[in-house]
């Protein structure tokens, strides 16, 4: 397959799926089939892209045949391909899970088309090599996520949506302004060209100022401290499949953009910019986890954990060593897998007992030991216990930081990790181990005989959970090949000349 | 001219942010409009305000006649306006639905999802 096609496929597949699903607007059943096929195809395209990018180096395609920096080009280096692959994985698992959990009303009002257009915005952001194009993909992604959050029109959804929309539009306005200033400074918006032209400017502080605008804008999208307040106010309001999807993917797009911008473009005054990133990372970790510890609603609790884990993802970027950056990327991948899984399992618990409140949940371990063990695996992975994926992600990150003697951030990371373990144990004891309020009164808890046998609905509900749980075990047991791939990825990111050369070529 | 534009953009940003800090959701929406318009103007200004010829290369030449205006920021602004328009349409519908469902336009009454209390 030609490289051009391979790089374009992750954008074309969701677009085609969304459009075809829209053509079958009246038929819910066809939309469900189309959606699963489309997301499976995206997953396969992601695998093919990563394998080719690893074998052949950075893949570049020029849209419309205009050579960079004049035309818009799409670039798939290892990091982009990895993120596209993860998007495909999350898309596939969540679309299967949606079959069992999405209510018919939302399904017939365009849930599946929106789902795939959102995916298109996300893969587009991961692959584009042009700053303004990145803004456009962000907007594609945002508008579909706005509708997905508000779809259904329940009061909490609308209240969450208004905050989500307002904060994200502010971030877009800042991004737009920053892009304008960047164009005024450099006269180009192609990322590779920017990376080349801004390396030896006369006034690096001017570039750094614009870089800070990008930091604020991407930081709002990634929900870093102190700009995360929209996230716990909105993420838990839509149905659990939507929550799992946006929790896994949207803030990671912000992180991706930060990593791309601060490894390729804004590397003039790293002692200043990356010091800020390090402080922000530490504060994000600790505030996120403290917020989580105080919560008793499973979805809100998990939303706060997203924030604290965003902090871990920033540490590697702030330290800028191959090992630490590899740890951060490991963290992104691990977090996408486990966090999605935790949301999906809490959806199962909701199906059983009809609540997300920890104080009302209970007895799940006694009556549903298998559901509980799947939760246990993901929760321990999130808290970073060996042998699951989270442990090795943390180990790589901590080792990378220790090598460069960043002791303070390591202390914060380990403290956060301890608090994460505490709040995961809280869910485990309150929700799964202690008897539910009904059982304490001598009655059977609700949902005891909810899962009588392997019906089609059951398969659609548990297949994604089992896939994700085995991945988080697998990434822990086979950590060596994963880490070597990620170190390769990080080294590619830390050597911008590779990226620039493969886009611009050797000619001046 | 640049100074004048800078002052104008600053005023627009300031009034946009002021409106967004009010409690009414309608003012929030208007604030968003002002904010995105000022960002558009910022692109336009930062890229350089040139009063010049259209950037059309006539037959036999390799460059447009100097001085020519840079067409790229105009294309960017145009794209941003279109996107902003779409987003604004959605925001207005959302504001209306929020008002219908919650029964108030006061943002302070919309705190049930904030997540800092049980």
> pLDDT at residue A197 above 90?
no
Residues 6+ away with beta carbon under 8 Å from A37:
A17
Computed over every residue of chain A, the mean pLDDT equals 90
Question: For residue A226, is the peptide bond before it cis, meaning its omega torsion is within 30 degrees of 0?
Answer: yes
Global pTM reads 0.93
pLDDT at B44: 87
Instruction: Read off the pLDDT of each residue in A305-320 and give the average, rounded to a whole number.
Output: 92
Residues 6+ away with beta carbon under 8 Å from A36:
A92, A95, A96, A99
With the C-alpha atoms ordered A84, A86, A89, A95, is the resulting torsion angle positive or negative?
A: negative
- Tokens representing A281 are 């990372």
CB-neighbour burial class of residue A28 (10 A; exposed 0-12, middle 13-18, buried 19+)? middle
Contacts of A156 in chain B (CB under 8 A): 112-113
pLDDT at B115: 55
pLDDT at A213: 93
> pLDDT at residue B113 above 80?
no
Cβ of B42 and A232 within 8 Å?
Answer: no
Instruction: Read off the pLDDT of each residue in A430-458 and give the average, rounded to a whole number.
Output: 78
- Tokens representing B21 are 């800090």
Q: Which residue of A has its CA nearest to B35?
A: A173
Q: How many CB atoms lie within 10 A of CB A167?
A: 21
- Alpha carbon separation from A293 to A356, A364, A390, A420, A423 (Å, rounded): 16, 21, 19, 8, 5
> pLDDT at residue A108 above 50?
yes
Contacts of B45 in chain A (CB under 8 A): 180
> CA angle, A251 as apex, A103 and A113 as ends, to 5°?
35
- Complex confidence, ipTM: 0.93
Instruction: Read off the pLDDT of each residue in A27-56 and give the average, rounded to a whole number.
Output: 94
Q: Among the listed ranges A232-236, A333-337, B13-17, which one has the minimum average pLDDT value?
A: A232-236
By C-alpha distance, which of A307, A329, A288, A331 is closest to A485? A329
Instruction: Read off the pLDDT of each residue in A326-348 and give the average, rounded to a whole number.
Output: 93
Question: For residue B67, is the peptide bond before it cis, meaning its omega torsion is within 30 degrees of 0?
Answer: yes
Confidence of residue A46 (pLDDT cuts 50, 70, 90): very high
CB-neighbour burial class of residue A276 (10 A; exposed 0-12, middle 13-18, buried 19+)? middle
CA distance B37 to B35: 5
| Interfacial A residues in 166-195 facing B (CB < 8 Å) | 166, 169-170, 172-174, 176-177, 179-181, 183-184
Question: Which H or E run contains A461?
Answer: helix A456-477
Cβ of A170 and B35 within 8 Å?
Answer: yes
> pLDDT at residue A328 above 80?
yes
pLDDT at A69: 79
Instruction: Read off the pLDDT of each residue in A200-213 and give the average, rounded to a whole number.
Output: 87
CA distance A18 to A2: 24
Confidence of residue B2 (pLDDT cuts 50, 70, 90): confident
Instruction: Read off the pLDDT of each residue in A43-71 and give the average, rounded to a whole number.
Output: 89
Greater model confidence, A316 or B107: A316
- Tokens representing A389 are 């994926």
Residues 6+ away with beta carbon under 8 Å from B3:
none
Greater model confidence, A367 or A87: A87
Greater model confidence, A455 or A151: A151
Cβ of B110 and A162 within 8 Å?
Answer: yes
Q: Which residue of A has its CA nearest to B42?
A: A177
Share of chain B above pLDDT 90, in %: 51
Cβ of B94 and A156 within 8 Å?
Answer: no
Q: Which of B76, B97, B112 sits opposite A132 (nearest CB)?
A: B76
Confidence of residue A360 (pLDDT cuts 50, 70, 90): confident
pLDDT at B118: 44
Are A75 and A63 contacting, i.e. CB atoms less than 8 angstroms apart? Answer: no
Interface contacts A/B by beta carbons within 8 Å: 123
> pLDDT at residue A144 above 70?
yes
Q: What is the pLDDT of residues B9-62, one digit of tens each?
A: 999 999 999 999 998 999 999 999 999 999 999 998 988 787 878 888 888 888
Contacts of A165 in chain B (CB under 8 A): 90-91, 94
Q: Quick check: helix, strand or coil at residue A482?
A: helix
Q: What is the pLDDT of residues A393-411, one digit of tens each?
A: 999 999 999 998 889 999 9
Instruction: Identify any residues that bridge with A190 across adjacent strands, giving them in sequence order.
Output: A130
Domains of chain B (ranges; CATH) run: 2-50+69-108 (1.10.287.3510)
Residues 6+ away with beta carbon under 8 Å from A212:
A273, A276
Task: Give CA A95 to chain center in angstroms.
Answer: 16
Are B33 and B15 contacting, i.e. CB atoms less than 8 angstroms apart? Answer: no
Instruction: Read off the pLDDT of each residue in A188-210 and give the average, rounded to a whole number.
Output: 87
The residue with tokens 């447009």 is: B64
CA distance A430 to A373: 15
Q: What is the pLDDT of residues A299-311, one digit of tens each?
A: 999 999 999 999 9
* Helix orientation angle between A78-101 and A479-494, rounded to the nearest 10 degrees: 130
pLDDT at A325: 93
pLDDT at A241: 93
Q: What are phi and psi of A368, to 5 degrees?
A: -135, 65
CA distance A125 to A218: 12
Q: What is the pLDDT of residues A69-95, one digit of tens each?
A: 788 899 999 999 999 999 999 999 999
CA–CA min distance B63, chain A (Å): 15
The residue with tokens 């374009």 is: A8
Instruction: Read off the pLDDT of each residue in A157-180 and give the average, rounded to a whole number.
Output: 92
* A146 vs B: CB within 8 A: yes
pLDDT at A508: 42
Q: What is the pLDDT of residues A458-503, one digit of tens each?
A: 888 899 999 999 999 999 899 899 999 999 999 999 998 889 888 8
With the C-alpha atoms ordered B32, B33, B34, B38, is the resulting torsion angle positive or negative?
A: positive
Confidence of residue B109 (pLDDT cuts 50, 70, 90): confident
CA distance A120 to A64: 19
């Amino acid at each position: 397959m030609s490289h051009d096609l391979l790089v374009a496929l992750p954008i074309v597949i969701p677009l085609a799926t969304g459009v075809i699903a829209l053509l079958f607007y009246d038929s819910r059943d066809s939309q469900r089939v189309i959606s699963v096929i489309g997301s499976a195809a995206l997953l396969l395209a992601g695998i093919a892209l990563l394998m080719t990018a690893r074998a052949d180096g950075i893949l570049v395609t020029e849209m419309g045949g205009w050579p960079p920096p004049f035309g818009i080009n799409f670039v798939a280096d290892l990091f982009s391909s990895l993120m596209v692959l993860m998007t495909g994985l999350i898309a596939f698992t969540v679309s299967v899970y949606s079959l069992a959990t999405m209510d018919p009303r939302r399904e017939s009002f365009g849930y599946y088309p929106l789902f795939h257009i959102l995916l298109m915005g996300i893969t587009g952001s991961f692959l584009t090599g042009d700053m303004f194009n990145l803004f456009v993909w962000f907007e594609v992604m945002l508008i579909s996520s706005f509708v997905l959050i508000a779809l259904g029109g329940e009061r909490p959804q609308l209240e969450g949506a208004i905050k989500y929309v307002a904060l994200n539009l502010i971030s877009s306005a800042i991004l737009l302004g920053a892009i304008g200033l960047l164009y005024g400074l450099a006269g180009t918006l192609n990322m590779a060209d920017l990376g080349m032209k801004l390396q030896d400017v006369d006034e690096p502080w001017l570039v750094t100022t614009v870089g800070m605008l990008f930091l604020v804008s991407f930081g709002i999208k990634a929900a870093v401290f102190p700009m995360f307040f929209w996230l716990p106010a909105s993420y838990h309001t839509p149905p659990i499949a939507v929550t799992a999807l946006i929790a896994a993917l949207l803030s990671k797009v912000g992180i991706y953009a930060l990593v791309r911008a601060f490894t390729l473009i804004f590397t003039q005054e790293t002692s200043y910019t990356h010091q800020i990133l390090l402080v922000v990372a530490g504060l994000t970790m600790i505030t996120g986890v403290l917020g989580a510890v105080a919560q008793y609603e499973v979805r809100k609790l998990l939303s706060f954990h997203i924030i604290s884990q965003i902090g871990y993802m920033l540490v590697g970027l702030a330290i800028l060593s191959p090992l630490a950056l590899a740890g951060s990327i490991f963290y992104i991948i691990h977090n996408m897998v486990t966090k999605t899984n935790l949301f999906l399992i809490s959806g199962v618990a909701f199906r059983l007992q009809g609540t997300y409140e920890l104080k009302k949940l209970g007895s799940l371990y006694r009556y549903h030991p298998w559901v509980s063990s799947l939760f246990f695996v993901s929760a321990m992975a999130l808290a970073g216990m060996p042998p699951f994926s989270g442990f090795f992600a943390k180990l790589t990150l901590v080792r990378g930081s220790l090598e460069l003697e960043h002791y303070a951030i390591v202390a914060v990371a380990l403290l956060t990790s301890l608090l994460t373990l505490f709040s995961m144990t809280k869910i485990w004891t309150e929700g799964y181990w202690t008897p539910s309020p009904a059982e304490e009164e001598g009655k059977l808890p609700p949902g005891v005989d909810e899962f009588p046998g392997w019906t089609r609905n059951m398969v659609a509900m548990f297949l994604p959970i089992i896939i994700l749980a085995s991945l988080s075990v697998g990434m822990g047991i086979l950590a060596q090949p994963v880490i070597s791939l990620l170190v390769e990825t990080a080294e590619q990111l830390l050597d911008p000349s590779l990226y620039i050369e493969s886009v611009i070529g050797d000619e001046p | 001219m640049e100074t004048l534009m800078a002052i104008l953009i600053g005023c627009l940003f300031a009034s946009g942010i002021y409106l967004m800090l009010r409690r009414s959701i309608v003012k929030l929406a208007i604030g968003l409009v002002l904010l995105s318009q000022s960002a558009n103007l910022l692109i336009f200004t930062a890229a350089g305000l040139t009063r010049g010829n259209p950037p059309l290369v006539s037959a036999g030449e390799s460059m447009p006649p100097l001085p020519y205006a840079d067409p790229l920021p105009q294309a960017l602004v145009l794209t941003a306006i279109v996107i902003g328009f779409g987003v604004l349409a959605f925001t207005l519908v959302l504001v209306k639905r929020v008002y219908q469902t919650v029964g108030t336009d006061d943002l302070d009454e919309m705190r049930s999802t904030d997540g800092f209390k049980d």
